[in-house]
Amino acid sequence: MQILTGKQMHEVDQMAIDGGIPSLQLMEQAGNALFEAFVQNVEKTEKIVIVCGGGNNGGDGYVLSRLLYAADYDVFIFPLETTKLSLETRMNRESCVVAGVPFIDIFEEATVLVDCVFGTGLDRDIQGTYKDVIEQMNASEKRIIAVDIPSGVDSATGKVLGVAVQAHETYTLQTGKIGLYIYPGRLHAGNVHILDIGIPEMYIQSIHPKTHLIAKKEMVDFLPDRFMHSNKADYGKVLCVGGSIHMSGAITMASLSALRSGAGMMTCAVPESVREVIATNVFESMIIPLSDVAGIIAPKAVDELQAQLDPYSVILVGCGIGRSEAVVDMVKMLLDSKKPLIIDADGLWAFRQIQDHYTDREHVILTPHPKEFADIMNITTKEVIDDFLYWGKKFMEKFPKATLVLKSETTLIFHKDEVWINTYGNNGLAKGGSGDVLAGCITGLYAQNEDAAKAAVLGVFLHAYAGDRVKKRKSVFSLLPTDVLKEIQQVLRKLEEHR
């Protein structure tokens, strides 16, 4: 699902106006869509106060007020701006006056507050009376519904511009806005509902949106093809390189996840001391035992593996591999091989040290969490968390041919100039081993479709949505990565049914 910034949506609005939809009519259509949503979701017993600013977001609020009042809702207007109004907003405010909609300057007795203050056009910190009123709204403990976007949230970045409305629900118009779905804007938006206000799709497509919201209904199109006339080799020969005496579970879960995601053949290259763990837990896998020192791959393991790489179509490196100079040499050798490569966990630690030699590397997917990513970018973890979108794009400037899966509560996938945002998943996934299952899932999909972006997007969805399904049966406290691993097969089955 394509989503836009406020600036892009303004361009779409203007194209619609230039194409024959008068701006006043467009505002009326927005108000009508909001009215229909309120009829479905707000009882007539509620006392509704609509807080209106002077721009078009306020104008939408005035239209909504008039329609609710005509339908016998208990509705009031709280005007935050009375002089600096857009033309359309002024006209709709006057219509409310003529219709007799009551105006007030307090909202203590309201049960529902509607935020129509700023919308998506805000580009400065909120101050003065606006700041005071928004803080009062947030402190009121009343149900708050935001129109288009909570006032104070930057529509392009999700950043809070000084202060922002803390909404329980957001009714956004025509398309989702990027800032609604990424941190910290997502925390302010509550449940987001997209309302069709009648703008033709051709205007949206004409600006070529590059940011997508991962949607379950679209994931069937990301499934790899499977054929009646085929064999195991047609679905990829995966090599998982990792494991160590202290972290044998990571490579076990990753390899099982790749198999559960459809990979045709599996081989695990692990330290000799970990061989039995794989042999007794991943029955479907072949094993390449590597020389090790104290349970971590030895320097000569690099040459041992290099001589055996030819058969493999996709390689995953890093899960449980540990940290040593031999690990750095192993990751370097795999990068030099030019084979499709997924780098996770301590493989990313190694990549950090040699990254400048591989800025043009193709067919590589990196799956860092914020700390790993901060180390690669030589910034703080806080800087990453404060602006995932910005730093992800900075990474892509340096590594334009790579695919980045930047993990968080809202995982972002970057590929070329496109970004996918994932809002599935829950905090039960915040547990050691979860990333190994994800890396394996992406690897298994990449082995089949040979499309890094599709593999990353579908892998992130499968992992997160499987976690949501498990959460329905178990507490988030007790949810385990192995639960998610087993649930992936059920999510794939559901997608297959809709193919």
Alpha carbon 177 to chain centroid, angstroms: 12
pLDDT of residue 443: 98
pLDDT of residue 108: 87
Separation between Cα atoms, residue 73 and residue 459, nearest integer Å = 46
Which percentage of the chain shows pLDDT scores above 70?
100
Q: Is the pLDDT of residue 180 over 90?
A: yes
Given this model, what pLDDT does residue 260 score? 97
pLDDT value at position 278?
Answer: 96
In which residue are the tokens 């105006």 written? Answer: 103
- Indicate whether 432 pLDDT > 90: yes
Q: What does the block give as tokens for 338?
A: 């030019």
Q: Taking 90 as the threshold, does the pLDDT of residue 364 lie above it?
A: yes
- The per-residue pLDDT for range 293-315, each reduced to its tens digit, is 999 999 999 999 999 999 999 99
| pLDDT score of 53 | 96
Report the C-alpha gap between 243 and 179 in whole angstroms.
39
Q: Is 107 exposed, middle or buried (0-12, 13-18, 19+ CB in 10 A)?
A: buried
Query: Nearest-5° angle of CA 35, CA 36, CA 37?
Result: 90
pLDDT value at residue 368:
98
**Considering the chain, what is the average pLDDT of its residues?**
97
pLDDT band at 316 (very low <50, low <70, confident <90, very high): very high
At residue 479 the predicted structure's pLDDT band, cuts being 50, 70 and 90, is: very high
Statement: residue 438 has pLDDT above 90? yes
| pLDDT for the residue numbered 499 | 84
Q: Note the pLDDT tens digit of each residue in 94-142.
A: 999 999 999 999 888 999 999 999 989 898 999 999 999 999 999 999 9
pLDDT tens-digit profile of 227-263?
999 999 999 999 999 999 999 999 999 999 999 999 9
Mean pLDDT of 380-400: 97
pTM, to two decimals:
0.95
Tens digit of each residue's pLDDT (9 = 90 or more) over 200-233: 999 999 999 999 999 999 999 999 999 999 999 9
